[in-house]
A and B are shown apart, each in its own frame.
Chain A
């Protein structure tokens, strides 16, 4: 089955539709026209650049370039996690905890999936490794960001409650227990919902993409199931690690709640 390539003018045709939406939103005074256009422009530039980079990386197929690209993706994801938190741990901890937990979960799950389950030769073959890591990082990032945001927000809002529990002699992890559980849960809900609704409410993006690219649906479905599972595992462990580390950092060695370790984010 051959793939129908898209020409740039065909994409320009699609962009006219976006312009039409922007014009409508301008006329309806929704105040969204500008951000819509900026976002659309960013999509074009970012994806075009990434396309170029991917062409080169695929061409070279060398582990070191794939590793470099993975690290860049990880750092960008780490920055994104940090900027999505309203209250964040100061002194680089927000970035550090987010990045490290994504590294531990997304990278190990990706490598495990490549070597044990898919088994391409070589194991880091970019056609498999880059998309899988990308999807895992993207989803883990959402989970980690939601979890940490919920944690810091909850601790700030319920400061008096946590401290009252400490006053009654509870250890720090018990005093923050419900908030921590809640934070992990909120990080995991999107993945669980996506798995529960997959195929019924929506056709998952990756599967749709593979089908568009000519893969038989039966194979696309198997890949989608695999991806759903590894995303759930990566997001789950990543969120758990990030929220646990974040909660620990909010208390000091004397089990005091240290709200002063949170700063208000600029965005």
Chain B
């Protein structure tokens, strides 16, 4: 199936949103670029602009697929943003998956039991929600990732587990990844490159 093949690098061409002006970056297939900066500096807004969730200047490219020339929902299915706070709209976990079931190996890798798909949303802890949201998003086989503090609600052990799992998938599927992170140690562990937002500008750190 062609859907699962990587399509290449993620490129930001003069993306302007909020205080951030004219950001140009190229994230190679399989590369993880961490993004940090003070709260309110515009990290999340940059991810939102790349996912085309708010009006912005400039354009983005995934391989030779251009954001401005692709239907928005198709673009977001390819370049998938995973928000810091996941949202759920059906009664049970399983209903949020297209096929009805979360992939068993993903559940196992993130220390969740196989019957987690039958859990009711009301019963989930914030950590369970966060891990299930990652599984839900990656089950849709996106070809680039925009992660907004994907381990914010997790304990130390879960953080390691999630990192290991994400790194393995990103490498295997060759997904260009923009990862918003606060923790300097985490940035060291996961990133190939680290960008810092300061005074409305993006700097290599």
Give A contacts to B, CB under 8 Å.
160-161, 163-172, 178, 252, 254-257
Q: Known contacts A254-B52, A256-B55: does B87 contact A164 (CB below 8 Å)?
A: yes
**A160 and B87 within 8 A (CB):** yes
B81 on the interface (CB 8 Å rule)? yes
Closest CB-CB distance, A247 to chain B, in whole Å?
A: 15
Contact of A166 among B73, B86, B136 (CB under 8 A): B73
Contact of A169 among B55, B76, B83, B86 (CB under 8 A): B76
* A-contact bits for B63-87, CB 8 A (1 contact / 0 none): 0000000011110111011110111
Closest CB-CB distance, A3 to chain B, in whole Å?
A: 57
**A161 and B76 within 8 A (CB):** no
Closest CB-CB distance, B53 to chain A, in whole Å?
A: 6
B140 on the interface (CB 8 Å rule)? yes
Closest CB-CB distance, B14 to chain A, in whole Å?
A: 17
**A166 and B53 within 8 A (CB):** yes
**A255 and B80 within 8 A (CB):** no
Bound CA span A190–B76, Å: 39
Residues on the A chain within 8 Å of B87, using CB: 160-161, 163-165
Residues on the A chain within 8 Å of B78, using CB: 169
Bound CA span A161–B96, Å: 13
**A160 and B83 within 8 A (CB):** yes
Residues on the A chain within 8 Å of B72, using CB: 166, 172, 254-256
B19 on the interface (CB 8 Å rule)? no
Bound CA span A252–B80, Å: 19
Bound CA span A34–B72, Å: 54
Bound CA span A228–B198, Å: 64
Residues on the B chain within 8 Å of A169, using CB: 73-74, 76-78, 80, 140, 142
